[in-house]
Amino acid sequence: MDHPAAGSTGMPEVNEPNHFLRIVLWWLVVSVIGTALVVFVLGPGLPPGNGSVEASGQVTDNTVLLALSVPVAAAVLVYLTYALIVFREREPEVYVDGPPIRGNASIQLWWLVTTTVIVLFLAGYGSIRLLADGSGGGQGPNPIAAPAASSSDPPLQVQVIAQQWQFNYRFPGYGGVEVPDLELPANTLVEFHVTSLDVIHSFWAYQLGVKADANPGVDNVAYVTTKGPLSVNIRCAELCGVWHGYMFETAHVVSKADFATWIRAQETRFAPATKTLPPYSKTYFPPPERRGG
Amino acid sequence: MSTIAVPVARPPLWRRLVGFNLLAGIALGIIGYVIGQWIGGRFTGVNIAYYSKTAGQNDIAIMLGYFFGVVGFLIGMGFANYPIQRMLGYPPTLAEHEAEEEGVGRYFRLCTDHKVVAIQYLVGIGVFFFIGGLNAMLIRTELLQPNTHVFGANQYLTLVGMHGTMMMGMMTSGILGPFANWVVPPMIGARRMAFPRIESFTFWLLMAAGVVLITTIFFGGFQTGWTGYQPLGDQNTAGYDAYIGFFALVGVSMTLLGLNLAVTIISMRAPGMTWTRLPIFVWSVLATAALMFLAAPMLIAALLMGAMDRTIQTAFYVAGQGGSSYLFQNLFWVFGHPEVYIVALPGFGIVLELLPVFARKPLWGYRLAVSGMLGVGLLSFFVWQHHLFVSGINADLRPFYMLSTELISLPTGFTFLCFMGTLWRGRIRFTVPMLFCLAWAFNFLFGGISGVFLSDVPSDVTTHGSFFSMAHFHYTIMGGLVFTFFAAIYYWVPKMTGFNLSERLGKVHFWTMFLAFNSTFAPLFALGFMGMPRRVVTYNPSFQALNDWASVSAFILGISMLIFLYNVVWSLLIKREPAEANPWHSKSPEWQLATPVPVYDFERTPVFDPDPYPYGVEPVPVGRPVVAPAGGQA
Task: Identify whether B609 is part of a domain.
Answer: no
- The contacts of residue B631 (CB under 8 Å, 6+ apart) are none
For A179-293, where are the alpha helices, taking DSSP H only? 256-269, 271-276
| Residue in A66, A97, A206, A220 to test binding to B, most B beta-carbons within 10 Å | A97
Chain B nearest CA to A259, separation (Å): 26
Contacts of B584 in chain A (CB under 8 A): none
Task: Identify whether B630 is part of a domain.
Answer: no
Question: Strands across the sheet with A177-179, in order?
Answer: A177-179, A166-171, A156-163, A189-196, A220-225
CA A255 – CA A238 distance, rounded (Å): 31
Whether A291 shows a pLDDT value over 60: the answer reads: no
Task: Identify whether B565 is part of a domain.
Answer: yes
Contacts of A123 in chain B (CB under 8 A): 399, 402-403, 406-407
Q: Is A166 helix (H, G, I), strand (E, B) or coil?
A: strand
Residue of B nearest to A57 (CA): B458
Mean local confidence (pLDDT), B498-527: 95
Q: CA torsion sign, B180 to B185 to B188 to B194?
A: positive
Domain co-membership, B472 together with B509: yes
Q: What is the dihedral of CA B153, B159, B162, B167, to 10 degrees?
A: -130
Taking residue B31's Cβ as centre, other Cβ atoms within 10 Å add up to 16
pLDDT of residue A47: 85
Domain co-membership, B355 together with B390: yes
For B531-610, where are the alpha helices, taking DSSP H only? 544-568
Task: Identify whether B11 is part of a domain.
Answer: no
Q: What is the mean pLDDT of chain A?
A: 88
Contacts of B449 in chain A (CB under 8 A): 69, 72-73
pLDDT of residue B633: 42
Contacts of B325 in chain A (CB under 8 A): 199-200, 215-218
- Quickly state the pLDDT bin for B613 (edges 50, 70, 90): confident
| Residue in B309, B424, B440 to test binding to A, most A beta-carbons within 10 Å | B424
Domain co-membership, B88 together with B120: no
pLDDT of residue B103: 72
CA A134 – CA A211 distance, rounded (Å): 11
Do residues B293 and B331 lie in contact, with contact meaning Cβ atoms separated by under 8 Å? no
Task: Out of A92, A98, A237, name the one closest to residue B615 (CB).
Answer: A98
Q: What is the mean pLDDT of chain B?
A: 88
CA B170 – CA B213 distance, rounded (Å): 11
* Residue B228 Ramachandran class (φ > 0 left, ψ -120 to 50 alpha, else beta): left
pLDDT of residue B4: 52
CA B179 – CA B184 distance, rounded (Å): 8
Closest CA to B250 of B222, B288, B208, B309: B208
Task: Identify whether B238 is part of a domain.
Answer: yes
Domain co-membership, B89 together with B99: no
* Yes or no, beta carbons of B410 and A119 under 8 Å apart: yes
The ranges of chain A annotated as CATH 2.60.40.420 are 156-276
Fold classified for A156-276? Immunoglobulin-like (2.60.40)
Whether A149 shows a pLDDT value over 80: the answer reads: no
Domain co-membership, B185 together with B317: yes
3-state SS, one letter per residue, for A58-99: HHHHHHHHHHHHHHHHHHHHHHHHHHHHHCECCCCCCCCCCC
φ, ψ of residue B287 in degrees (nearest 5)? -60, -45
Task: Out of B311, B367, B426, name the one closest to residue A5 (CB).
Answer: B367
Rg (CA), chain B: 25
pLDDT of residue A150: 66
| Residue in B280, B425, B434, B538 to test binding to A, most A beta-carbons within 10 Å | B425
List the Cα angle B562/B154/A210 in 5-degree steps: 100
CA B132 – CA B543 distance, rounded (Å): 25
Chain B nearest CA to A24, separation (Å): 14
What DSSP element (H or E) covers B209?
helix B196-214
Q: How many residues does chain A have?
A: 293
Whether B211 shows a pLDDT value over 90: the answer reads: yes
Mean local confidence (pLDDT), A3-24: 63
Contacts of A131 in chain B (CB under 8 A): 399
Closest CA to A56 of A221, A230, A182, A235: A230
* Yes or no, beta carbons of A65 and B59 under 8 Å apart: no
Domain co-membership, B150 together with B238: yes
Of the listed ranges A177-191, B82-96, B318-332, the one predicted with least confidence: B82-96
Residue of B nearest to A212 (CA): B390
Contacts of B618 in chain A (CB under 8 A): none
What DSSP element (H or E) covers B395?
none
pLDDT of residue B334: 94
* pLDDT above 90 coverage of chain B, percent: 67
* Residue B576 Ramachandran class (φ > 0 left, ψ -120 to 50 alpha, else beta): left
In chain B, the number of structural domains is 2
pLDDT of residue A154: 85
Read off the CATH number of the domain in which B395 is found.
1.20.210.10
Task: Out of B60, B320, B466, name the one closest to residue A217 (CB).
Answer: B320
CA distances from residue B489 to B182, B188, B613 in whole angstroms, order as listed: 12, 20, 21
Do residues B517 and B556 lie in contact, with contact meaning Cβ atoms separated by under 8 Å? no
Closest CA to B425 of A100, A278, A52: A100
Taking residue A181's Cβ as centre, other Cβ atoms within 10 Å add up to 14
Contacts of B153 in chain A (CB under 8 A): 242-246
CA A88 – CA B560 distance, rounded (Å): 26
pLDDT of residue A6: 38
| Residue in B163, B352, B391 to test binding to A, most A beta-carbons within 10 Å | B391
CA B583 – CA B496 distance, rounded (Å): 13
CA B623 – CA B273 distance, rounded (Å): 10
Strand duo A201-205 + A210-214: pairing? antiparallel
pLDDT of residue B544: 94
Closest CA to A156 of A202, A188, A128, A200: A188
Closest CA to B213 of B298, B314, B303: B303
| Domain-terminating residue out of B75, B93, B111 | B93
φ, ψ of residue A288 in degrees (nearest 5)? -70, 140
CA B22 – CA B78 distance, rounded (Å): 9
* Residue range B338-386, pLDDT digits in tens: 999 999 999 999 999 999 999 999 999 999 999 999 999 999 999 999 9
Domain co-membership, B87 together with B102: no
* Yes or no, beta carbons of B320 and A288 under 8 Å apart: yes
* Yes or no, beta carbons of A111 and B393 under 8 Å apart: no
* Residue range B109-141, pLDDT digits in tens: 888 889 999 999 999 999 999 999 999 999 999
- Quickly state the pLDDT bin for B7 (edges 50, 70, 90): low
CA B335 – CA B341 distance, rounded (Å): 10
Domain co-membership, B232 together with B101: yes
pLDDT of residue A23: 94
Q: CA torsion sign, B62 to B63 to B66 to B71?
A: negative
Domain co-membership, B241 together with B365: yes
Q: CA torsion sign, A259 to A265 to A269 to A272?
A: positive
Task: Identify whether B601 is part of a domain.
Answer: no
- Using the 8-state DSSP alphabet, how is residue A287 labeled? P
Task: Out of A58, A210, A241, name the one closest to residue B232 (CB).
Answer: A241
Chain B nearest CA to A265, separation (Å): 30
Task: Out of A54, A108, A140, name the one closest to residue B392 (CB).
Answer: A140
Residue of A nearest to B530 (CA): A47
* Residue A11 Ramachandran class (φ > 0 left, ψ -120 to 50 alpha, else beta): beta
Q: Is A211 helix (H, G, I), strand (E, B) or coil?
A: strand
Q: CA torsion sign, A58 to A64 to A67 to A73?
A: negative
CA B342 – CA B176 distance, rounded (Å): 9
What DSSP element (H or E) covers A231?
strand A230-236
pLDDT of residue B625: 47
- The contacts of residue A117 (CB under 8 Å, 6+ apart) are none
pLDDT of residue A108: 94
CA B169 – CA B167 distance, rounded (Å): 6
Task: Out of B153, B326, B462, name the one closest to residue A48 (CB).
Answer: B462
Residues facing A252 on adjacent strands: A183, A231
CA B554 – CA B564 distance, rounded (Å): 15
Top mean pLDDT of B89-93, B232-236, B262-266 is at B262-266
DSSP secondary structure string, B603-628?
SS-----S-S--TT--SPPTT---PP
Domain co-membership, B50 together with B131: no
CA A167 – CA A249 distance, rounded (Å): 9
- Quickly state the pLDDT bin for A267 (edges 50, 70, 90): very high
Task: Identify whether B613 is part of a domain.
Answer: no
CA A211 – CA B45 distance, rounded (Å): 46
3-state SS, one letter per residue, for B111-164: CCCHHHHHHHHHHHHHHHHHHHHHHHHHHHHHCCCCCCCCCCHHHHHHHHHHHH
Task: Identify whether B122 is part of a domain.
Answer: yes
pLDDT of residue A15: 67
Chain A nearest CA to B633, separation (Å): 23
Q: How many residues does chain B have?
A: 634
- Quickly state the pLDDT bin for B624 (edges 50, 70, 90): very low
Mean local confidence (pLDDT), A250-272: 94
- Quickly state the pLDDT bin for B634 (edges 50, 70, 90): very low
pLDDT of residue B53: 52
Closest CA to B236 of A198, A238, A276: A198
pLDDT of residue A288: 60
pLDDT of residue B96: 53
Domain co-membership, B333 together with B464: yes
φ, ψ of residue B616 in degrees (nearest 5)? 80, 5
Quote ipTM for the complex: 0.91
Query: Hey, what long-range contacts does A148-156 have (CB within 8 A, 24 or more apart)?
Result: A149/A189, A150/A189, A153/A188, A153/A189, A155/A188, A155/A189, A155/A190, A155/A191, A155/A223, A156/A184, A156/A185, A156/A188, A156/A189, A156/A190, A156/A191
* Residue range B159-189, pLDDT digits in tens: 999 999 999 999 888 899 999 999 999 999 8
A74-99 in b/e form (b: 16+ CB < 10 A) is bbbbbbbebbeeebebeeeeeeebbb
Domain co-membership, B80 together with B174: no
For residue B36, what are the domain limits?
Answer: 19-93
Rg (CA), chain A: 28
